[in-house]
Amino acid sequence: MRAFRIEEWQRPPRLVEVPDPEPGPGQILVEVAGCGLCHSDFTMMGMPAEVGGALGWHAPFTLGHETAGRIAAIGTGTGTGTGAPPLALGDAVALVSPASCGTCWYCVRGQDGSCPNGLAGRGYGRDGGLAEYVLVDGARDLVPLRTLDPRTAGPLTDAGATAYHAVRRVLPRVLPDGVAVVIGAGGLGAFAVQFLRALTAARVIAVDPVPTRLEFARELGADEALEGAGDTTAAEIRELTGGRGADAVLDFAGADATIRAGLAAVRPGGAYGLVGASGGTFDRPWFGGLPRDGEVFTFQGSTIADVQEVVALAERGVVRNEVELFPLDRVQDAYARLDKGELRGRAVVVPGGGPDQGAGWQRGHQ
């Protein structure tokens, strides 16, 4: 089969031929219908071998961690387990993006996003979904799709679920007459705008330097849109809130400027969530630099429950998941569009798209 793989650390990934995977005992083989692309893939493309090794990642491996498809084969002894979905060939499924063991202290408490045994996952040091087939270790990692198209559902499992995890964290801080701010209105931020609109009665402010993203955020329900994310952003947010500040700020960029602006915009008793992985820093004293009586948190990824709930919301039509589809032969073009910020929604690679289709050959949403 064809697969888009990192073959050596700090070498550009390539589309190559590899043997078809076969499910072992307890494993499930999924024929990939679509796999979303993520900015974190660029981090892995440039990662030194020693950093990957420290995480338990080993090259070569296939990229892609936002995957959905159909069950193609079931290994011997694969049980569904308590609460796991029944398995049948041809069933449409979404693959849980973060890896977790299911048995550690965190996993048994429903905090599988913090599993210390889940650092190497599909698309992160293990073979992911930018291929024609992908292996899954068990039914626990699958979420059934009833009405959603598996070609386009992949971004719900990571971009959608991560944004949902962030919004869920701040819900207790967001008052009915309050304000929630989303910094970075790209793939994750667009989902966060929708979740805040659906789950709170707060005014939603989107902040982004790209006007087309702000326009899309308004289309998805943002009440206000502020262009840029710099030294004046906090003052603009305070002006829009009558000087009080925001109940919650979710930063999906994570740069120095956005961290400073986001923290300065939070009201006393509010919350700031750092989700973006741009590597920004904050060098202010805690007194006067952090929200008084507030909450500051960060995380990477989501939980299985987050994925299940996001898929359920999408099945009900509450969440709009706009994607641009690319055939596997044009995966490099898809990454280039993502890197340049030219996409309206998420880029999804469809292995069965066919070699004669051009980049961006179809657009759709759920």
In the chain, the domains with their CATH numbers are: 2-158+303-365 (3.90.180.10), 161-298 (3.40.50.720)
Separation of alpha carbons 75 and 124, rounded Å: 23
Residue with tokens 């050596």: 8
Residue-level pLDDT at 278: 82
Residue pair 204/163 in contact by the 8 Å Cβ criterion: no
CB under 8 Å to 49, separation ≥6 — which residues?
9, 10, 59
44 in the Ramachandran plot: left (φ > 0), alpha (ψ -120 to 50) or beta? alpha
Q: Cα torsion for 153, 362, 336, 311, to the nearest 10°?
A: -10
Q: Is the pTM of this model over 0.85?
A: yes
Cα distances from 92 to residues 34, 228, 238, 247, 327, in angstroms, run 11, 40, 46, 39, 20
Query: How is residue 357 annotated by DSSP?
Result: P
Residue-level pLDDT at 300: 79
- Distance of alpha carbon 326 from the chain centroid: 18
Separation of alpha carbons 285 and 287, rounded Å: 5
Q: What is the largest CA-CA distance in the chain?
A: 63
Residue-level pLDDT at 277: 81
Residue-level pLDDT at 365: 45
Q: Name the residue type at position 334.
A: A
The closest alpha carbon to 36, from 97, 126, 103, 108, belongs to: 97
Residue-level pLDDT at 23: 95
Residue pair 355/329 in contact by the 8 Å Cβ criterion: yes
In tens digits, what is the pLDDT along the chain, a chain of 366 residues? 999 999 999 999 999 999 999 999 999 999 999 999 998 899 899 999 999 888 889 899 999 999 999 999 999 877 655 455 678 999 999 999 888 999 999 999 999 989 998 888 899 999 999 999 999 999 999 999 999 999 999 999 999 999 999 999 999 999 999 999 999 998 899 999 999 999 999 999 999 999 999 999 999 999 999 998 888 999 999 999 999 999 999 999 999 999 999 999 999 999 999 999 888 888 888 787 899 999 999 987 899 999 999 999 999 999 999 999 999 999 999 999 999 888 888 999 999 864 333 334 344 445
Helix, strand, coil content of the chain in percent (nearest 5): 30, 25, 45
Separation of alpha carbons 176 and 157, rounded Å: 28
Residue-level pLDDT at 358: 39
Query: How is residue 202 annotated by DSSP?
Result: S
